[in-house]
Amino acid sequence: MNSMLEDFDKRVISCRKCPRLVKYATETKKYNKKNEFVNEKYWCKPVPSFGSLDSTLLIVGLAPGKHGAGRTGRPFTGDFAGEILYKALYESGLSNIKKSISKSDELKLKKVRISNAVRCAPPQNKPTNNEIINCRPFLIEEIRMMTKLKYILALGSLAHKQILQCIGEKQASYKFQHNIKHKFPNLKWELVNSYHTSRYNINTKRLTYEMFLEVVKELNH
């Protein structure tokens, strides 16, 4: 399993299918308006998933954030959305600490793997349709390798649509709605929806931390 995972991660990291995203990745070294992270070495590559392939829960977000995973090289690490996600995992008994700071910290997930629909940071956090399609084979392969999978938690409608495309199902038959579970014929796992843990969703109260924590807690069994 370890060699399989290592090979998969290497193929993800070395992917150059999307010229726009490859170019943008080299620009993630440009610091934000607060001039933070000036002394850090940015990841600047496609971001591999985090967690074991033996996990029963796969969490799928939209894409790496420019100064979050685009900087640290780990999904949902180093930005606001990740603070919400990892705190909820910790309080649900799915990790050993409540913050994800870097790839070299002591964080360990329990029965959880974290991924993205698109594995490169896109400009304005908006991947094109072709970029979404180009990244889909990685998610298809990942899902197939996770033989103990019980749930896939889609954070946001784009992740929801990408997962449906991976298994050949139509959006019209399985509409995105917060805290809804979808069952599929001939599949052992269920698709669960949640609004994304983005700063925008939290600030507008479309999603509260308590709402998100409720979703995550229900998946720890």
Q: Where are the alpha helices (DSSP H) in 39-156?
A: 69-72, 80-91, 129-145
Q: Which domains does the chain have, with CATH numbers?
A: 2-217 (3.40.470.10)
This model's pTM is above 0.85: yes
**What tokens appear for 23 in the block?**
């170019």
The percent of the chain in helix, strand and coil, each rounded to the nearest 5, is: 40, 10, 50
Element holding 158 (H helix, E strand) = helix 157-166
Cα–Cα nearest to 119, from 49, 68, 20, 193: 49
> pLDDT for 28-63, tens place per residue?
666 555 556 766 788 999 999 999 999 999 999 999
Measured between its terminal Cα atoms, the distance across the chain in Å is 23
> pLDDT for 90-138, tens place per residue?
999 999 999 999 999 999 999 999 999 999 999 999 999 999 999 999 9
> pLDDT for 193-210, tens place per residue?
999 999 999 999 999 999
**What tokens appear for 73 in the block?**
């090289």
pLDDT for the residue numbered 38: 66
